[in-house]
Amino acid sequence: MVRGFADLDGDVALVAEQRRLAGLRPPPWRPSPGPLVAVGAFVAFARGEQGPGRAGDRAHVGAAATRDTSELAHVVVRGVAGARYARGLLAAREGALLERAVRALLATGVTPDVLVVDATGRDHPRRAGLALHLGARLGLPSVGVTHRPLLAIGAEPPDRAGAWTALTRDGDVVGAWLRTQRGVRPVAVHAAWRTDVPVAVEVVQRVTARARTPEPLRRARTWARTARAAAEGRTPG
C-alpha cells in the first residue's frame, strides 16, 4: 500500500515513504511489441508562481494519453501546490496534483501501459523520485523525463537520433542521456517504478515523434499551458 501524497504530513513522513519505496522490489515490466499506450502528466504553475514557489501556488495540470505517438485523450485539472519546492521533495509540491490529473484521465476509459512524468526516478537522494513514487501510487510502470539529471552524472551521447549514454550515481546506472532527435539537446531519462534504464529508454523512443520531448508529456504540457494562458487572459506562447 502506497500512502497518498496528502497523507504524508511533513517532510519527515515523505522522506520515510521514499526510503520505503526505494527498498521495494516489484516485478519488472517490459512493454509488449504492439502499440504502446502512455500517459504523460505535467504541472504548469501560474505566472509568477513558478520556481521554488510556496504552498498554495496555483496550477493547471495536464494529462494526455497517446497510442505510440497519436493522442487518444487529454484532461486538465486545476489545483494548488502542497509545498514549496525543495530538492528531493518534489512530491510534496506536485505529487497530489499529478495524481489527480492522471486519475481524471483514467476515468475517461483510457487504459495505459506506462506513465511518463516530468520528474526523476532512481536519480534521487533516496532513489525514489516523484516519477517512481507516482507510478507506485497509481500502480503503473513509470518513466521519468527531465531536461537534466538531479544527481547522476554521465557524458552526453553522439549527435544521432536514438543514441544514449548511461547516467550513474555512486556507481549504479540510474538513468540515461537520450538524444531523441539529431541536432537537439538530449533529455535525461529515468528508471522509475518497475522499469530499468533500457526499458525507460525504449519507452521514450517509442512515444517520441518529431519533437525533443516524448509525445504524451509534450501534449500534457501543451494542454496545461494552454489552459493556464486562457485563465490568465493570455494567448498561449
Q: Which residues lie below 8 Å from residue 102, measured CB to CB, with a gap of 6+? A: 39, 41, 63, 115, 134, 138
112-153 pLDDT, tens digit per residue, is 999 999 999 999 999 999 999 999 999 999 999 999 999 999
Q: How far is CA 162 from the centre of its chain?
A: 20
Which 8-state DSSP code applies to residue 5?
G
Which pLDDT belongs to residue 75? 98
Q: How far is CA 187 from the centre of its chain?
A: 12
Which 8-state DSSP code applies to residue 222?
H
Give the closest residue to 155 by CA, choosing from 178, 183, 171. Answer: 178
pTM: 0.95
Which pLDDT belongs to residue 45? 96
Residue segments in the chain with a per-residue pLDDT below the cut of 50: none
Which 8-state DSSP code applies to residue 109?
T
Instruction: Tell me which of 3.30.2170.10, 3.30.565.10, 3.90.220.20, 1.10.10.410 is the CATH number of domain 5-24+37-231.
Output: 3.30.2170.10
Which pLDDT belongs to residue 237? 61
Which pLDDT belongs to residue 230? 95
DSSP element (H, E) containing 71: strand 70-80
Residue spans of alpha helices (H) in the chain: 11-23, 90, 96-106, 130-138, 197-206, 215-231
**CB-based contact 67:79 (threshold 8 Å):** no
